[in-house]
A = this chain, B = another copy of it.
Amino acid sequence: MVMVNRSMLVNLRRLISNNAKSTNPAMQFPCLDKLEEITAQLKQKNRPGSCSISDPTSSPSNEPVYGKVQSGFKLFESNEPLFLDYGGVLPQFRIAFETWGKLNKNKSNAVLVHTGLSASSHARSSIDNPQHGWWEKFIGPGNPALDTDKYFVICTNVLGGCYGSTGPSSQDPADELPYATRFPMLSIQDIVRAQERLIRTQFGIQKLYASVGSSMGGMQSLAFGQLFPDSVEKIVSVSACARSHPSSIAMRHAQRQVLMADTNWSRGFYYPSSSEPNKIPPHIGMKLAREIATVTYRSGPEWESRFGTERLNEETSPVLCPDFLIETYLDHQGEKFSLEYDANSFLYLSKTMDLFDLSRSHANRSHRRRIKAAEEYEKGSFSEKRLSDLPYKAAKKRRTTTVEEAREDLRIGMEPLRNKEILVVGVRSDGLFPYWQQREIVELLGGDSKVTHVELDETQSLYGHDTFLLDVDHVGGSIGKFLTQ
């Protein structure tokens, strides 16, 4: 109601300013008009509370994309509590998963595919869900990357996600309201522990043939090897890292702060309820966050060849709404995503990526916190503990360990990965997980002869970080070759 009034006021003001005497014409803002329209449409709709929200701007024919995706998966439910690296607990959780191919008799042909931040378990089409998956061209019968005639491929929606697995939009069993920002912070290792419980309990798999992932999925793949070195034969990590870099943290920080500044985010409590049925998700913050993310997913050279610095219309006076081709591209990417994914899942998993760290000290601290969480949970005192509100009081201005010490810490932490067969793929045009972070993984593993390192140069891919989604020949080919050698 407040919003509609504001919008009316803005339009009235614009009308006045347009008609008032002014030297130059007032600028128009069609991009803001559109956001206000979407807000108004959302307020009029009865919507579900999670990722299955349909995009009000798309045509009815392709509307319920994620609804369809959700129809195809299976659920693994665990009622054993999962104690978490940062001291939280999930008393119970579920993991959405899909499989392709057939598990062989001695259960030795399973390949676990890990997803990036925003993907669902729907890596490939299936009978249950014929829609194309996010890695459609990398998985299938006879496929040179993941051949489902040979492998039993499993893909899960990550813990913390919103495509069927337990995440911030799920109900807290304590009060049956959405967790929202009462959801505990996760580590990549927590996500992997939940997956490991699934493959062991659901399928009785003692040892994966391979753990395969790109981006956040590559982090999971390495973490799986670190936590369960005896439960995996081969490890594939594409465009990931051994520990997040401050540059990547900076870019994800910007995305999170922008999203959190959207007043509709409401500190995470934006899910409609019977008492507040008209709440809407922070679609503007999500759009902006995705635009920033998109800048990090592709590469400058690709944009130069696709868009250059051309504007939609060189003859018009430039405007502050999208005007250059590159701007309309980013705007479109942002808008498409703005209602596809749960904002809280995005925030939590974005932070989880920042926190990724294979170092020994990180593992030690996490271990202590998990033990403590388990003890408190047993005593029933768990829910009394509050997150510290200390962190914002900046006392520390510079790092306290040296670069060399931090590197040695990482090297020791990665010892469980030694002597494993590992494929590390880097892409020169990737600015988010740069090629030198891939080289670093290889070096930290001690230049082991079991480590295969592939680096794609600019003549092979200009797709930047997104190469793992697009380059079937080089990325897919390298994976296929590594798995069969």
Judging by beta carbons under 8 Å apart, are A284 and B261 in contact?
yes
Closest chain-B Cβ to A82's Cβ sits at a distance in Å of 11
Interface 9-residue window, one of A107-115, A131-139, A389-397? A389-397
Nearest opposing residue in chain B for A267, CB measure: B29
Bound state CA distance, A391 and B28, in angstroms? 10
> A460 within 8 Å of B by Cβ?
no
B-side contacts of A303, CB under 8 Å: 246-247, 250
Count identical subunits in the complex.
2
Bound state CA distance, A391 and B382, in angstroms? 56
Per-residue interface assignment for chain A, residues 86 to 116, with 1 indicating a CB less than 8 Å from any chain B CB and 0 otherwise: 1111110000000000000000000000000
Once A172-B22, A309-B245 are accepted as A-B contacts, the answer to whether A288 and B258 lie under 8 Å apart by CB is yes
Judging by beta carbons under 8 Å apart, are A251 and B332 in contact?
no
B-side contacts of A459, CB under 8 Å: none
Once A87-B317, A261-B284, A288-B261 are accepted as A-B contacts, the answer to whether A246 and B10 lie under 8 Å apart by CB is no
Once A309-B245, A326-B246 are accepted as A-B contacts, the answer to whether A24 and B398 lie under 8 Å apart by CB is no
B-side contacts of A91, CB under 8 Å: 23
Interface 9-residue window, one of A204-212, A400-408, A412-420, A441-449? A400-408
Q: Which of B182, B244, B254 contacts A25 (CB 8 A)?
A: B182
| A to B CB contacts below 8 Å, 21 in the list | A2-B2, A20-B177, A23-B91, A23-B173, A24-B88, A24-B183, A26-B387, A27-B181, A185-B317, A243-B309, A246-B308, A246-B326, A251-B295, A254-B330, A258-B288, A311-B391, A313-B390, A321-B392, A322-B394, A323-B391, A325-B397
B-side contacts of A299, CB under 8 Å: 247
**A contact residues, range:** 35 or more
> A residues within 8 Å of B by Cβ?
2, 6, 10, 13-14, 17-18, 20-32, 34-35, 86-91, 172-175, 177, 179-185, 243-247, 249-251, 253-254, 256-258, 260-263, 266-269, 284-285, 288, 291-292, 295, 299-300, 303-328, 330-332, 347, 351, 354-355, 357, 365, 382-383, 385-401, 403, 406
Judging by beta carbons under 8 Å apart, are A291 and B321 in contact?
no
Bound state CA distance, A401 and B314, in angstroms? 12
Judging by beta carbons under 8 Å apart, are A254 and B185 in contact?
no
